[in-house]
């Protein structure tokens, strides 16, 4: 008889995971992680912070991520009480439930605080989709080393960065390298959304946060109006992120002197329908790039936030697609440069200058090849199950 064998109830007890994602893109990646884990270990129980995608994947949503989706230092201060209340709720959950694993998805300022509590309680921490410590606030790597058991990184260049800092890390590949595609042709996608495939289509992508919507959508609408005055045949489509309500979109579109087709969901089909896109800086720029669509990137934050952030940023580009590519493939119109006139002019060039648009597409093609990796990546679900010590069934 083996005296060291685990009790039967320990072998059969469902593993409990607390998972936290504070933004729309993270919500999608977290949902796919959850689905992959549950295919192999169906008894695993997930709860945490997320949006509709995580809820559909079977996660018990304790706090809706839409209430936490803010960006900029000043904006965080304005929403401090909401963020603090959510953090305290998650800390209580860690203390009361003692989950087997805490999975954190991006959203670093919130998640690294929660990781500190988990470490103090002896709860293992898996961090999926690294904070951009290689771009700005590099000293956070020391905090990560103290609070995180394993970094699951999605860009190949992140692995040596963490290894040099003494942080356990695995390259798991970027989920978008496989996710970002449509089964439709461009004309089929345009037709699906009631657009005329014979006419040019421009995508207006204002971001997934309320603050982004308020700062960027009016600019994009005015740019659309200017562009249509010069190119009457152009059509516009706007995808709504799951973290934004129809009412929030309607507030900006009322009285707009241009017709804009709105779509909830079907994000990659929306991208596929477009001939050019103007997008808020963020994960969406990488998704658009991976699908090879000509792109202009815009961004604005509170002026005080911008001045502080510019002093901290250590990379030459703002847009994620350009950072990964290592060059300015997509034009960036940031802060004071983000004007309706400049956006309209860049979109017009992407639509009318075939050689210019082709150079952008070629740059994005090289980016896709870079993210495909060399086959050495670890599956993120396998890594999560490894940290849980859970037996893995067939996928």
pLDDT tens-digit readout, 362-388:
999 988 887 765 544 578 999 999 999
User: Mean pLDDT over residues 343-355, rounded?
Assistant: 98
Residue 11 pLDDT exceeds 90: no
What mean pLDDT is predicted for residues 22-40? Answer: 91
The model's pLDDT over 114-152, given as tens digits with 9 standing for 90+, comes to 999 999 999 999 999 988 776 666 788 999 999 999 999
**What's the half-sphere exposure (Cβ side, CA atoms, 13 Å) at 288?**
33
Give the domain ranges of the chain.
15-173+373-388, 179-371
Higher pLDDT: 395 or 130? It is 130
Percent of the chain as helix, strand, coil, to the nearest 5: 50, 15, 35
List, edge to edge, every strand of the sheet that includes 201-205.
260-264, 235-240, 201-205, 276-280, 295-299, 331-334
SS3 call for 194: coil
pLDDT band at 256 (very low <50, low <70, confident <90, very high): confident
Whether 199 shows a pLDDT value over 90: the answer reads yes
Q: Which of 214-223, 277-286, 344-353 has the highest mean pLDDT?
A: 344-353
pLDDT for the residue numbered 95: 97
pLDDT of residue 8: 37
Query: Over the stretch 167-190, which tens digit does the pLDDT of each residue have?
Result: 999 999 888 888 899 999 999 999
DSSP secondary-structure letter at 14?
Answer: P
Residue corresponding to tokens 């949902």: 31
Least confident of 6-15, 51-60, 240-249, 342-351: 6-15
pLDDT value for 13: 66
pLDDT value at residue 23: 82
- Residue 79 pLDDT: 61
Domain 179-371 maps to which CATH number in 3.40.50.1220, 3.40.50.2000, 3.40.50.1440, 3.40.190.150?
A: 3.40.50.2000
Is the model's pLDDT at 166 over the cut of 70? yes
Report pLDDT for 305.
66
**Does the domain at residues 15-173+373-388 carry the CATH identifier 3.40.50.2000?**
yes
| 212 has a pLDDT exceeding 90 | no
Is residue 307 over pLDDT 50?
Answer: yes
pLDDT surpasses 60 at 2: no
**Distance, CA of 120 to CA of 253 (rounded, Å):** 48
pLDDT band with cut points at 50, 70 and 90 for residue 10: very low
- The helix/strand/coil state of 205 is strand
Residue 85: the pLDDT is 93
At which residue do the structure tokens 């689905």 appear?
Answer: 35
CA–CA distance, 181 with 176 (Å, rounded to integer) = 9
Of the candidates 115, 52, 63, the one whose C-alpha atom is nearest the C-alpha of residue 85 is: 63
**pLDDT value for 306:** 64
Strand partners for 127: 104, 151
Between residues 87 and 155, the one the model is more confident about? 87
Nearest to 102 by CA among 85, 115, 92, 91: 115
Whether residue 325 has pLDDT greater than 60: yes
Quote the pLDDT of residue 139: 82
Mean pLDDT of the chain: 87
């Amino acid at each position: 008889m083996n005296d060291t064998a685990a009790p039967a109830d320990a072998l059969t007890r469902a593993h409990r995971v607390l998972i936290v994602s504070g933004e729309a893109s993270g919500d999608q990646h977290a949902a796919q992680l959850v689905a992959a884990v549950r295919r192999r270990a169906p008894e695993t129980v997930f709860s945490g912070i997320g949006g509709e995608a995580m809820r559909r994947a079977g996660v018990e949503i304790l706090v809706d991520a839409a209430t936490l989706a803010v960006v900029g230092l000043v904006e965080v201060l304005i929403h401090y009480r909401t963020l603090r209340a959510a953090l305290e709720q998650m800390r209580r959950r860690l203390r009361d439930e003692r989950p087997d694993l805490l999975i954190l998805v991006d959203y670093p300022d919130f998640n690294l605080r929660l990781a500190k509590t988990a470490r103090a309680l002896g709860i293992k921490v898996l961090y999926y989709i690294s904070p951009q410590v290689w771009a700005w606030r590099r000293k956070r790597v020391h905090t990560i080393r103290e609070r995180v058991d394993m970094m699951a990184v999605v860009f190949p260049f992140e692995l040596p960065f963490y290894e040099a800092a003494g942080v356990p890390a695995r390259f798991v590949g970027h989920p978008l390298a496989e996710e970002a595609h449509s089964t439709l042709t461009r004309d089929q996608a345009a037709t699906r959304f009631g657009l005329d495939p014979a006419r040019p289509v421009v995508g207006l992508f204002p971001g997934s946060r309320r603050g982004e919507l308020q700062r960027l959508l009016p600019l994009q609408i005015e740019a659309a109006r200017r562009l249509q005055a010069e190119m009457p045949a152009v059509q516009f489509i706007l995808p709504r992120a799951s973290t934004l309500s129809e009412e929030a979109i309607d507030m900006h579109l009322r009285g707009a002197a241009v017709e804009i087709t709105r779509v909830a969901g079907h994000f990659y089909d929306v991208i596929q329908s477009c001939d050019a896109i103007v997008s808020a800086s963020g994960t969406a720029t990488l998704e658009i790039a991976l699908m090879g669509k000509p792109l202009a990137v815009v961004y604005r934050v509170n002026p005080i936030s911008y001045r502080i952030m510019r002093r901290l940023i250590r990379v030459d580009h703002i847009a994620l697609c350009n950072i990964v590519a290592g060059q300015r493939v997509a034009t960036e119109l940031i802060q004071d440069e983000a004007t309706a006139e400049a956006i309209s002019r860049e979109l017009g060039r992407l639509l009318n200058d075939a050689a210019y648009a082709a150079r952008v597409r070629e740059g994005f093609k090289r980016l896709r090849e870079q993210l495909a990796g060399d086959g050495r990546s670890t599956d993120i679900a396998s890594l999560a199950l490894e940290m849980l010590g859970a037996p893995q069934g067939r996928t």
